[in-house]
Amino acid sequence: MKKERFSSKGKIPNYILLCIAMVILLLLVGMSDLNVQESFVVAYFIYTFLRFINNLSNTINIFDFLIFFSTLSTLLSAVIAYRFFGASNFYTHLWRSGMGVPEETYFDYLIPANLALFAGLNLVFYKNTRNAVVYVERAKAYVADKTKVGVTFIAIGLVSTQFMGHVPESLSFIFYLFGMLGYVGGFYLYFSLKKRRGLVITLMTVAFFLQALQKGVFGEFIMYVMLAASLIIAQYRFRFLPKLSLFVIGFFAIVILQSVKIQYRNLTWTSKGQTSADYRGKGNAEIFSDLVMDRLTDPSSIFSEKSLFYMNRRLNQGWLISLTMNYVPRVEPFANGETIWLSLAAVLVPRFLWPDKPEAGGAFNLARFVGIKKKLNYSMNIGPYGEGYGNFGPVGGVVFIFLYGLVIAFFLHKTLQMTKKYPSLIIWMPLLFYYVLNVETDILTTINSFVKAVVFIFFIYWGAKKFFRTDI
C-alpha cells in the first residue's frame, strides 16, 4: 500500500511566522506606547492569526482556530478594554463592564494560560492532524453514493429545529443534536455530488442563515460555517494570500452582522418592529437586509465608539475571567478541583440518581466564582480559564489549562484514528468539537456535550446499519 505523504505546497514555514511575530514584538516595545505585556499580546495574536490562515486547507486545524479565538477573546479584546474602555468610559460605566483586576494582574495569568493551551494542543498529538487532504479525500470516496443520507439528515435537522423551543428542557440537547444533523447532512450532500456543488453549498448556507435569522442567534451559524469551510477547502491547495482574502471578507461580514445584531433583535424580539414606521409590516429577512444596507451606506456607524464598545464587550471573555480573579480568593476560597470533579461526576451520574447535580451552562460557576446568583435571561460563562483560576489559582490554573489542552488534543487524535475504519467520521467533527472550540464554555458543558455527541453519533451509525442496512 502506497504511503500517504503530506504536501506543504503553498504553506509558509512556521519559523518565518515566528520571525514576523518577533519583529513585530520588538517594534512595538521600542516604538509604541504599549507596555511589554500588551506588545506581546498583539504580536502573539498576529502569530496565531497567521498560523491559522497558513494551516487552513493544509492540516486539520480546528485547534489552530481555538488558539486564535482564545487569543482574540481573552487577550487582544482585554487589551482593547483596558486601553480604550476603562472604568471612566461612558459605556463601560453604563453597562458596568469594567475589568475586575489591574491589567498587570490579569495578563500575569492569561498570557501563560494561553501559552499553556497552545502547548497542550500541540505538544504530543499534533502530528496526526498534519494532512487534511488525506482525511477529506477518504471521506469523499466513502460518501460518494450517500446522497440520500445527506438529504435525509438535512430533512431531520430542519424539522428538529422547529421543535427545539417546544420540548422539555431535559430533551432540548437531544433535539439540538438532531437539529445539527442538518449541517452534517450538508457535508454528506456536498461531498457525494459530482456536479453543482457550489450551488448546493450556497443554497444550504442560505437555508441555515435564514434559520438563524428566524431565531436571531448567529453564533452557532458562524461557527459551523467556519468549520465547514475548513473542511471543504481542504480539497484545494490554496496559497496564503487567497486564504487571507477569504478570511478578511468573512471577518467584515461578521463585523457587519455584529453591528446590526442588537438592533435586529430589538426589532424582531419585541414590538418595536411593529411600531417603528421604517419597519412596520416587514418580515425578519427584510428588516435584516435594511439594517445591513444602512451600515453599508454609512460605514462610519459600524466603527462608532458605541458600536465598537458593544462588539468588544461581546467578544471580551476576559471580563468574566477578571471578575473571577477579583472574587476568588477575596470572597470565595479556591475550590481546589472540586468543580472539576463535580463536572466529571455529573456527566457519569444520571439526574434521577442525583437530582441537584450541577447543570451545564455556567450558572453554577457564576454563582460560586463571580457571585452572580440571580437567574439570567442570557448566556454567561467564565469558561475554562476562569474555572481553572477559581479552582487552582494563577499557577495551578496554567497547569490545568495545559492538561485541558492535552486531553482535548487526545480526543481529536483518537477521532482521527477512527476515521481509518469510519472515513465519514471526519464530517461529524464540527458536531463533536463545537463546544470544545468555544472558550466561553465551562468544563461541565464541554465534557457533557462531547460525551453526548459521541453517544449520539454511535447510535446514528448503529441505527443506520441495524435498521436500514446502510453504512453512513
Residue range 98-106: average pLDDT?
97
Structure pTM? 0.91
Question: pLDDT (tens digit, 9 = 90+) per residue, 108-126?
Answer: 999 999 999 999 999 887 7
Based on the fold, state whether residues 311 and 394 are members of the same structural domain. Answer: no
- Residue 9 pLDDT grade (very low, low, confident, very high; cuts 50, 70, 90): low
> Is the pLDDT at 87 greater than 50, yes or no?
yes
- Residue 79 pLDDT grade (very low, low, confident, very high; cuts 50, 70, 90): very high
Based on the fold, state whether residues 302 and 186 are members of the same structural domain. Answer: yes
> Is the pLDDT at 78 greater than 60, yes or no?
yes
Closest to 310 (Cα-Cα) out of 297, 319, 299, 322: 319
> Is the pLDDT at 75 greater than 90, yes or no?
yes
**How high does pLDDT run on average in the chain?**
88
> Is the pLDDT at 190 greater than 50, yes or no?
yes
Based on the fold, state whether residues 191 and 289 are members of the same structural domain. Answer: yes
Give me the residue label for grid cell 441555515.
208
Task: Report how many domains make up the chain.
Answer: 3
Based on the fold, state whether residues 153 and 286 are members of the same structural domain. Answer: yes
Whole-number Å distance between alpha carbons of 57 and 327: 43
> Is the pLDDT at 343 greater than 90, yes or no?
no
Could you tell me if residue 414 is inside a domain? Answer: no
Boundaries of domain holding 373: 318-408+426-448
> Is the pLDDT at 3 greater than 50, yes or no?
no
> Is the pLDDT at 6 greater than 60, yes or no?
no
End-to-end Cα separation, the chain, in angstroms: 25
Residue range 53-81: average pLDDT?
92
Based on the fold, state whether residues 223 and 368 are members of the same structural domain. Answer: no
Whole-number Å distance between alpha carbons of 417 and 331: 46
Based on the fold, state whether residues 431 and 330 are members of the same structural domain. Answer: yes
Whole-number Å distance between alpha carbons of 320 and 99: 8
Could you tell me if residue 460 is inside a domain? Answer: no
Residue range 202-225: average pLDDT?
83
Percent of the chain with pLDDT over 90: 48
Based on the fold, state whether residues 185 and 38 are members of the same structural domain. Answer: no
Q: 338 or 346: whose pLDDT is higher?
A: 338
Whole-number Å distance between alpha carbons of 281 and 259: 23
User: What pLDDT sits at residue 185?
Assistant: 92
Could you tell me if residue 421 is inside a domain? Answer: no
State whether the Cα torsion 330-336-342-347 is positive or negative: positive
User: What pLDDT sits at residue 2?
Assistant: 45
Based on the fold, state whether residues 326 and 310 are members of the same structural domain. Answer: no
Could you tell me if residue 295 is inside a domain? Answer: yes
Q: 405 or 348: whose pLDDT is higher?
A: 405
User: What pLDDT sits at residue 351?
Assistant: 76
Residue range 293-305: average pLDDT?
88
Least confident of 153-157, 194-198, 243-247, 383-387: 194-198
Whole-number Å distance between alpha carbons of 285 and 276: 16
Based on the fold, state whether residues 147 and 282 are members of the same structural domain. Answer: yes
Whole-number Å distance between alpha carbons of 262 and 257: 9
Based on the fold, state whether residues 160 and 238 are members of the same structural domain. Answer: yes
User: What pLDDT sits at residue 119?
Assistant: 96
Based on the fold, state whether residues 206 and 294 are members of the same structural domain. Answer: yes
Decide: 79 and 38 in contact? Cβ < 8 Å. yes
Based on the fold, state whether residues 26 and 39 are members of the same structural domain. Answer: yes
User: What pLDDT sits at residue 377?
Assistant: 64
Residue range 428-443: average pLDDT?
85
Q: 114 or 299: whose pLDDT is higher?
A: 114
Q: Last residue of a domain, which of 315, 332, 349?
A: 315
